[in-house]
Amino acid sequence: MQRFTTFRSSVHSRVSAALMILFAAILAWGPRVSLAAESQDLAGLNALYPSLDALYQDLHRQPELSNQELKTAVKMAARLRDLGFTVTEHVGGNGVVGILRNGAGPTVLVRTDMDALPIKEETGLPYASTVTTKDASGVSVGVMHACGHDIHMTSWVGAATLLSRSKDRWKGTLVFVGQPAEETVSGAEAMVKDGLFSRFPKPDFVIGLHDTQLLPSGKVGLISGPASAASNAVDITFYGLGGHGATPQRTIDPVVIAARAVVTLQTIVSREVNPLDPAIITVGTFHAGSKRNIIPDEAKLELTVRSYKPEVQKQLLAAIERIAKAEAAAGRAPREPKVTIVESSEVVINDPALTQRLGSRLRRELGDTSVTTLDPNTSSEDIGVFGRVAGVPSVQLRIGAPDPGEFAKARAEGKYPPGPHTSKFAPDRQPTIRTGVAVLTLSVLELLGVQRS
């Protein structure tokens, strides 16, 4: 009887698991963006897709790190020139700006990022990157479009193509911006400092997109208000007195000082910040020493710091410096640690009115069930710089990337498929690209005030 009960229980568990996967699959597949029967606003996308797919695979095979996007920028510039845009290169480094004027009307800035990440690809795709290069510190690294910027660029080119071919349906000015160095949250600021809004038309609106593993391919996500966290990259170098590992009493060990700091830094969020205020301090790297029996002279930590409020951002940075100095003093360090903020970005805020306006258009065109809302996330971006400096509404839209079947299976297990900044991030390219093109094209047409016939 016990064997029968165990067997019945096992069957019940398997059936329950199967039902969960089926239910998740239904939710994931659902009604997705269907572009087989093209609307007038998206006319030509079906015929255009093969060339976009070829572009995507080329970009994916040949990624370039932040501030090294030389070949990528050339490709983006050439595409825009072929479409009739007036193109300027090397804006703020490797930035590309394309202008297409079509009579009196609003000016819309459409931004894509172009850089890749120092990650060795492990997707097994036939078009996987095998690129290796040296990073800014001279270290040899693999390079991969692990954040989907190749998806963004391809969607951007697709939208530029459809819009340039349908000038009878809109009036105004397009400013298509290919931005370098998003991964170091520095490219947008560099382009602004190089005269983006003085040398070129100032926009009335700024739009962009980003792929995500939080939705299956074919789905569109909206975040209204604060959308991406402020970010700071902080380096801390602790100083000691090196010597033989067998005689630690004759040294001042910076490894021990830094190790204590790693632990104490975690108390900032858990014991100093209001629990209702999002905040993150992550120590991502710990560099020290060259041999097991040598106590080094220095130890270095690299941190990423995330927050949503300026006052919390200020609190975190001040506490990090305070704790670093205190731990150094407690460890008898010969001098104070060096605390350097090497990267900074502000909170990305999607203008609520603009988000609602574009969301209404996308639901109307793509279907209500294809567009959903998402929660803010703690990743960081610098697209918000454009809207903030120009003083205009801006929004970054999300598009799902994983294959719906893989998404459903992962969700049934309480997980998500591999996402951005991982070596196995592999977007379901056709529906993701087609959705990206549709989202950008329809958003621009909405902002240019064109009504569907």
pLDDT tens digit string along 299-312?
Answer: 999 999 999 999 99
- Render pLDDT for 253-312 as a digit per residue (tens, 0 to 9): 999 999 999 999 999 999 999 999 999 999 999 999 999 999 999 999 999 999 999 999
Alpha helix stretches (DSSP H) within 335-428: 352-366, 384-390, 404-412
20-34, 49-63, 91-105, 405-419: range with lowest mean pLDDT: 20-34
Q: Taking Cα atoms as reference points, which of 374, 364, 370, 363 lies closest to residue 222?
A: 374
Q: How far apart are CA 284 and CA 205, in angstroms?
A: 36
Q: How far apart are CA 444 and CA 450, in angstroms?
A: 9
366/33: higher pLDDT: 366
Q: Taking Cα atoms as reference points, which of 119, 182, 192 lies closest to residue 149?
A: 182
Chain-centroid distance, C-alpha 28:
22
Q: How far apart are CA 446 and CA 362, in angstroms?
A: 9
Residue 156 half-sphere exposure, CB side, CA atoms within 13 Å? 33
Confidence of residue 34 (pLDDT cuts 50, 70, 90): low
Instruction: Return the pLDDT at 305.
Output: 97
φ and ψ at residue 279, rounded to 5 degrees: -160, 140
Q: How far apart are CA 267 and CA 248, in angstroms?
A: 28
Q: Taking Cα atoms as reference points, which of 207, 182, 212, 114 lies closest to residue 428?
A: 212
Q: How far apart are CA 71 and CA 60, in angstroms?
A: 13
Residues 6+ apart with CB under 8 A from 284: 302, 303, 304
Residues 6+ apart with CB under 8 A from 272: 315, 319
2-11, 80-89, 165-174: range with lowest mean pLDDT: 2-11
Q: Taking Cα atoms as reference points, which of 226, 184, 235, 190 lies closest to residue 345?
A: 184
Q: How far apart are CA 11 and CA 338, in angstroms?
A: 61
Average pLDDT, stretch 22-43?
57
The DSSP code sequence of 308-362 is SSHHHHHHHHHHHHHHHHHHHHHTT-SSPPEEEEEEEEPPEEE-HHHHHHHHHHH
10-19, 138-147, 227-236, 405-414: range with lowest mean pLDDT: 10-19
Confidence of residue 40 (pLDDT cuts 50, 70, 90): confident
- Render pLDDT for 317-361 as a digit per residue (tens, 0 to 9): 999 999 999 999 999 999 999 999 998 888 999 999 999 999 999
Instruction: Return the pLDDT at 36.
Output: 44
Q: How far apart are CA 377 and CA 362, in angstroms?
A: 22
Residue 240 half-sphere exposure, CB side, CA atoms within 13 Å? 27
Structure tokens at 307: 């927050």
> Domains plus CATH for the chain?
31-229+347-447 (3.40.630.10), 230-345 (3.30.70.360)
Structure tokens at 399: 């598009």
Confidence of residue 449 (pLDDT cuts 50, 70, 90): confident
Confidence of residue 30 (pLDDT cuts 50, 70, 90): very low
The DSSP code sequence of 85-138 is -EEEEEETTTEEEEEEEESSS-EEEEEEE--BBS----S--TT----EEE-TTS
Instruction: Return the pLDDT at 24.
Output: 46
pTM: 0.86
